[in-house]
Structure 1
Amino acid sequence: MTVKEAVPVRDENRGADDSPLIEPIGFTPVQLKNTRVRLFFSRRSLVIAACLLLSLLALLYLIIARSLIFDTQPIDAKVTISGFAIPLGEGHLVLPGSYKYTIKAEGYLSKSGAVEVSNDGHSRHSVTLEKLPGHLQVETDPPVPVKILINGSEVPNKNGLVENISAGPRRITILSDRYLPFTREINIEGLDNIHRLQAKLRPAWANIRINSNPPGATVTVNGEVLGTTPLNTELIQGDRVISLSLLDHKTTDVSVAVTAGVDQTLATVNLGPADGLLRVVTIPEGAGVTVDGEFRGHTPLELELTSGEIHRLQFFKDGYASVEHTVDLAAGMQRDLNINLNAVYGRVRVISVPTDAEVYIDGQFAGNSGQTFNLPARGHRIEVRKRGYESFDTRVIPSAKLEQTVRAVLLTSEQARWKQIPSELRHGAGGTMKLMRPNAVFTMGSSRREQGRRANEVMRQVSLTRPFYIGTTEVTNREYRRFQRAHTSSHVNGVSLDNDNLPVVNISWADAALFCNWLSQQDGLNPVYLIERGRIVGFDSAANGYRLPTEAEWAWLARYDRGSMRKYPWGNELPIGSNSGNYADNHAAKLISTVLRTYNDRYAATAPVASYKPNPLGIYDLGGNVSEWIHDLYTIGTGLSSRMEENPVGPQDGDYHVIRGSSWRHSGLTELRLSYRDYGEAPRNDIGFRIARWIN
């Protein structure tokens, strides 16, 4: 309740001492409810509430927000981030999420991108801005048009200004006609700045004085006329050829090495009188021409001849008589010369075996053999043909002075084919092979009455006609080690069997066959022996590769002697002839018990291949040195059959293979005979092999 004081009212009619009159006033009760509402929504209250709310939100932002920092190069680059971001120190304070950014700096290319700010921690990124390219302004002294090369490559320029050069070190080369190249190493700063390069160019020419006798000659360099002598001119440095020409005089070339800045006065050039020109035509055309013994070409021909001299000309052509002529031309004179050549003939007689063959001369039918042909004395192709025979072809130049004879021996197709096949060749391992063309019918084996005969030497009638190559020697250690590098033939009681030129031993039949297949592959031939799972299971008798000799081939090679068949390697009688082969002699006594006491072959064990004389067919060591693995499987017949075997090769599969020939261990009558047969499969120190090949 509010009580208002009574205000005294002064009554002017009353005295001063009269008492004041108290009057009542109106009373209104206080409305408490409305007062509270007004207090709550007052301006002050609202401000305070807003501040509290903002503080709460700011605190919540600070708790949730993460810092996003960019380390830029340059460091003063300006970073702009999309969305709500509070700059804070060296970075920005942002809520987790995706943001796009743009970074700019003066002199650099701006860079934009996107980053992801996670809840886990703060985000920091390194960004390097690329410098804007720089520019180069070249200023030359003297000011001349230039070509500008940067690091060796020409770049376009506008009055010496090259724009947009990447920042960094550069090698600048300035080229200008008639000036030496100018090169500098500079550093292009970039940042859109212009680098100025001052280039003082040095002249690339020298002053050259040229004189001639007589004067007035036209001076030309590289097709450009510079003036007439006497002449002072500027020439660019380098090796130059100066041409001086004057009417009725020879053009003279002078070589001069020009050095920039070094002036020269050349020696006076004496111009001789001009050559004369001679135009030469012959009938027929194509004649060769010499001038004073020097060949100058074929007609028709233009000849430049020294004036004031007598020249000797000679004309020649196959089939025509040569002609000589002399000529003298004045300076600058031109003249025509026509020469008629007279044909020359020679006589050529053509005979042939067989007779009555047809003769073709230069591709045209001329008659039958046995005739004499009158031909121009030039080169001719003569071909002699007869049905059923290979043509004979030759070239001949007839002579007017003597008659020539062409003898044509015509070969059948078979004879011509064999002529193309070499009689001897070297295989890929280094050994030599000889061609054999047997046409023989003979008996293999031996008679039961022959002393020393074994039961497996059953007699067989054989026809051997298939041609083949055969190794002249047994395969050596050197040759075999090209196939098996680690192979050793070992030794016998300290006597080596392993030297390079000794026959390879201590190998099985399969080892020898695998060597043949390897050598076939080396020489590009079809392997003979068929292999399955590492085992030899047969052979291909049509293949042209290397193989072991068949027993029939070996027997024929070893025994054939000018139509008869030998009994021993040296002949048909005992004792052993001197130097006949390597058998068990006195030198082998320390290695084996039974030896030939009266024979000396100089070796205790194996001997180098071809140490003794070959047999009549030129093959070495078919008896002695080492026994040899044979292609055929070992079989024993039942007796002399009336059926003739043609080029037998034996069955495809079996357990053992034939071994033929005696070795350095043998001295008995049985083994020394060429009919001796043995068999086996495993290696021995006295068994080797030689190779063969069929000719298909």
Structure 2
Amino acid sequence: MTAKEAVPVRDGDRAEEEFTVIQPAGFTPVQETSGGNRLLLSPRALVITGCLLLGVLVLVYLLAARSLIIETQPVDADVSISGLALPLGDGHLVLPGKYTYTVSATGYLPKNGEVEVTGEEHSRHAVKLERLPGHLQVITDPPVPARILVNGEEVASEDGLAKNIPAGTRRITVVTERYLPFTREIEIEGLDNTQHLRAALRPAWANVDISSHPPGATVTVEGEVIGTTPLTAQLIQGDRVVEISLPEHNTAKIPVAVTAGVNQTLAPVELAAADGLLRLSSSPSGASITVNGEFRGQTPLELSLSPGDVHQIRFFKDGFASVERRVDLSPGSEKEINVDLSAVFGRVRITSSPAGAQVFIDGELAGTSGNTFTLPARNHNILVRKEGYEDYQTTVTPSAKLEQTVRAVLLTAEQARWSSIPAEITHGAGGRMLLMRPNAEFTMGSSRREQGRRANEVLRRVTLNRPFYIGTTEVTNRQFRRFKRMHSSSHVNGVSLDNDNLPVVNVSWTDAALFCNWLSQRDGLRQVYQTSGGRVTGFDASANGYRLPTEAEWAWAARFRNGTMLKFPWGNELPVGKNSGNYADNNAAQLVPAVLRSYSDRYAATAPVASYTANPYGLYDLGGNVSEWIHDLYTIGTGLSMRREENPVGPQDGDYHVIRGSSWRHAGLTELRLSFRDYGAEPRSDVGFRVARWVK
């Protein structure tokens, strides 16, 4: 026995039982079996352990996981997320990382994407699905084949069904033959659904009644024969040309403006008898043709002429005698006329200066000048050429009745160059300028022995050979106000200096230079004066723009006559010559202290420009009216220098500019002389300017 057997105990025996001695049993140890297959834990323990581990993992997952919500349109779309993603409410529970998703719904295009979930926050991602295209079934009334346009672009259709139209608002146009386009704007719902559109078509034609005299003429519209007159034709709207033709009659072309639904009746068409066909040719070809005096073309030529009339046909060609023919044609007939033209010659004598030049006629060397040439009576190009001279070219048409002469005056290259340069120009402000081509050596200034001489009139040897343009008059108020609109030359003791045709005064040298720059810019020329901040800082002597005259140019234009220098504007002696200019005369007695008692110029102050006699070069007021600003800076030499100055432009430095010429304020011997020099910088009531420019 391994344990004591249990014996039922009665109540009476319980006392005795309490004193029963328990005997120890024998113990035999269980022998361990070798082999290692014995389980350390029971299956129940393993299950419990596994559950614990799983719970730990779930707890860790729940602590680390974040929610990922994919918000979809439509809201009932299916969402599939890659990897371990537990559905949770409206979203999924996922660990941080990158996930791909697929959103799909019936009637929509599926959409794939990628989203990244971080460990710091929950993720929310919106996805909108694009609806599948829809289909449109167009039903026309009446049922006719039609083309379908979506937003102006034609789409493929079969039996009126246009497939795969993108969802959204679309402009649908139904186009068909003989009906007006039908247009509607509809909402394509898509989702692979088919919608229906009923198109009530309106006719695009109108009934046009067409008749002719005689009847039975064939009616053709745009190359299609539609019947014979009289008839009622259905013509599509638009500008149409109806052709009505009948054998042996001229075809009539009638323009018809057709409006859909607006019927009309054309006036009966009178068909005239058919023209005859006349074929014309000549030998040589290229002869000009006139019919009844009207030019019709050159041979070979086909003409349609009215039947039953006599037509005067004339053939003519340069160098040939003209030929005339008379012709009449029956309706629908054809006739040919061919004529032989006879050459006509004339004599042309060609001379040249200098003689002995080569003569080219129509590009071929024909001989030398001084000869007479017999040429066909047509236009010829004549070229006369001699070495060292520019070619002379002209055209001539010889006459059989009269000998002609061509006189070629040959020019050197220099002469030809100057012949192309205008002798007179008008600048942008309206002033006239004359071309001057000086080639002179002269002495500026005056001798110490000359009465009235000033110390600044030092003698200078000058060579002037650079051509230039110079204004015939001083710049007027009108011209200057095109540059400065508000400029006023003011007045002197109530005498106005401001009228349009009076010379501008009360301008500084800088004002005059800036006017020249403005004029250069206006006329597209390179500016002479260099400026900075409204100040003139230098000049460009190579520029072709407008400027003030140099002192050498002014002295040459005012004084140089036949190799000598003039003393006064009117000559070399006093008194002042009649109409010589505007000086201080009796009219200015109230304005100036000294006047010329024996001279009258009719004006108290300034006079209109060009009021007095021009000098031999065509220039006005170089003496009198107003003194003039000069380009050169002012300086005083030390005496006559043996050094000859060529085309001088003045010194490089100085505070003032030269002023030349007398004015309306002057009456003294010193100022009236053309060698008189003054200087300044600021405006004066008796100082103006004229413009000049070099010829490049």
Q: CA deviation at 1:320?
A: 2.8
Aligned residues: 674
1:171 matched to 2:167? no
After TM superposition, the structure 1 stretch with the greater mean CA deviation from structure 2, 437-446 or 496-505, is 496-505
Aligned pair in 2 of structure 1 residues 557, 42: CA closer, same or farther (>3 Å)? Answer: same
1:243–1:62 distance in 2 versus 1, CA, 3 Å? same
* Contact 1:560-1:616 within 8 A present in 2 as well: no
Change over 3 Å in CA distance of 1:41–1:390 after alignment to 2:
closer
Deviates more, 1:376-385 or 1:167-176: 376-385
What is the one-letter code of the residue matched to 1:434? Answer: L
Q: CA RMSD in A?
A: 4.3
Q: Is the 2:215–2:230 Cα contact (8 Å) retained in structure 1?
A: yes
The answer to whether the 8 Å contact 1:346/1:400 transfers is yes
The verdict on how the C-alpha distance between 1:356 and 1:214 changes in structure 2, with shifts beyond 3 A counting, is: same
Q: Report the CA distance between 1:676 and its aligned residue.
A: 0.7
For structure 1, the residue ranges without an aligned partner over 5 or more in a row are 9-22, 31-39
> Are 1:677 and 2:677 counterparts?
yes
Larger CA deviation: 646-655 vs 129-138 = 646-655
CA drift at 1:117: 3.2
Task: List aligned pairs for 1:39-54, cutoff 5 A.
Answer: none
Q: Deviations over 1:59-108 (max 9, x none)?
A: 66555544333333222223333334443443334444433332222222
Q: Which moved more, 1:237-246 or 1:321-330?
A: 237-246
2:635–2:654 contact (8 Å) kept in structure 1: no
- What is the match of residue 161 of structure 2? 161
Question: 1:78-477 counterparts in 2 under 5 A?
Answer: 78-206=78-206, 210-214=210-214, 216-229=216-229, 234-261=234-261, 269-428=269-428, 430-475=430-475
Task: Among all aligned residue pairs of Structure 1 and Structure 2, give the percentage whose two residues are the same amino acid.
Answer: 69
Write out per-residue CA displacement over residues 493-544 of structure 1, whole angstroms, 9 at most, x where no aligned residue: 8877777766555666566556656655665555556789999787665554
**Aligned equivalents of 2:409 and 2:195: distance in 1?**
90
Distance 1:633 1:336, change over 3 A: same
Higher mean displacement: 481-490 or 666-675: 481-490
What amino acid maps onto 2:691 in structure 1? Answer: I
Q: Is the 8 A contact 1:562 1:616 kept in 2?
A: no
458-467 or 54-63: bigger deviation:
54-63
Deviation of 1:675 after TM superposition, in Å, equals: 0.8
Q: Rate the CA distance shift 1:235–1:559 in 2: closer, same or farther, 3 A.
A: same
Structure 2 letter corresponding to 1:407: R
Aligned to 1:34: none
Q: Distance in 2 between matches of 1:193 and 1:660?
A: 99
- Assess, with a 3 A threshold, how the Cα gap between structure 1 residues 117 and 500 changes in structure 2: closer, same or farther: farther
User: Is residue 6 of structure 1 aligned with residue 8 of structure 2?
Assistant: yes
Q: Once the 2 structures are TM-superposed, how far is the Cα of residue 150 of structure 1 from its aligned partner?
A: 1.6
Equivalent position of 1:67 in the other structure:
67
Residue 253 (structure 1) shift: 2.8
Q: Which moved more, 1:448-457 or 1:424-433?
A: 424-433
Equivalent position SS for 1:250: coil
Tell me the TM-score normalised to structure 2 length.
Answer: 0.82
2:156 and 2:263 mapped to 1: Cα distance? 35
| 1:182-201 C-alpha deviation (Å, 9 max, x unpaired) | 22221111222222212233
Alignment-derived partner of residue 623 in structure 1: 623
Per-residue deviation at 1:636? Answer: 4.0
Please give the residue correspondences for 1:557-596 in structure 2 after superposition, counting only pairs within 5 Å.
557-560=557-560, 565-576=565-576, 580-584=580-584, 593-594=593-594
Letter in 2 for 1:555: A
1:537–1:652 Cα contact (<8 Å) kept: no
Alignment CA distance shift 1:334-1:693 (3 Å): same
Q: Does 1:661 align with 2:661?
A: yes
Report the Cα distance in structure 1 between the residues aligned to 2:544 and 2:106, rounded to whole angstroms: 84
Give, in angstroms, the shift of residue 549 of structure 1: 2.2
User: How much does 1:595 deviate?
Assistant: 5.3
Q: CA deviation at 1:341?
A: 2.8
Letter in 1 for 2:132: L
CA contact (8 A) 1:582 1:603 kept: yes
The 1-side partners of 2:688 and 2:557 are apart by: 17
2:30 aligns with none
The 3-state SS of whatever aligns with 1:101 is: strand
The change in CA–CA distance for 1:259 and 1:543 in structure 2 (over 3 A counts) is closer
Change (3 A) 1:667 1:110: farther
Q: Which amino acid aligns with 1:325?
A: R
Residues in 2 aligned to 1:58 and 1:486: alpha-carbon distance in whole angstroms = 95
Q: Does structure 2 conserve the Cα–Cα contact (< 8 Å) formed by 1:659 and 1:680?
A: yes
CA distance in 2, matches of 1:334, 1:415: 62
Paired with 2:428 and 2:25, the residues of 1 have a C-alpha distance of 141
- Tell me how far apart the structure 2 counterparts of residues 51 and 365 of structure 1 sit (CA, whole Å): 124
Counterpart for residue 31 of structure 2:
none
In the superposition, relative to structure 1, how do residues 190 and 395 fare at CA in structure 2: closer, same or farther (>3 Å)? Answer: same
Deviates more, 1:509-518 or 1:189-198: 509-518
Change (3 A) 1:506 1:306: closer
What residue is the counterpart of 2:15 in the other structure?
none
Q: Deviations over 1:438-476 (max 9, x none)?
A: 233444222333221112223344443332111223345
Judge conservation of contact 2:442–2:563 (CA < 8 Å) in 1.
no
Amino acid at match of 1:330: S
Task: Measure the CA separation in 2 of the matches of 1:579 and 1:130.
Answer: 99
* Residues 539 and 652 in structure 1, CA contact (< 8 A), matched pair in contact too: no
* Helix, strand or coil at the partner of 1:321: coil
Give the aligned residue type for 1:6.
Answer: P
Q: In 1, Cα distance between the equivalents of 2:551 and 2:262?
A: 91
Output the CA distance in 2 between the equivalents of 1:41 and 1:586. Answer: 150
Opposite residue 419 of structure 1, the aligned amino acid is S
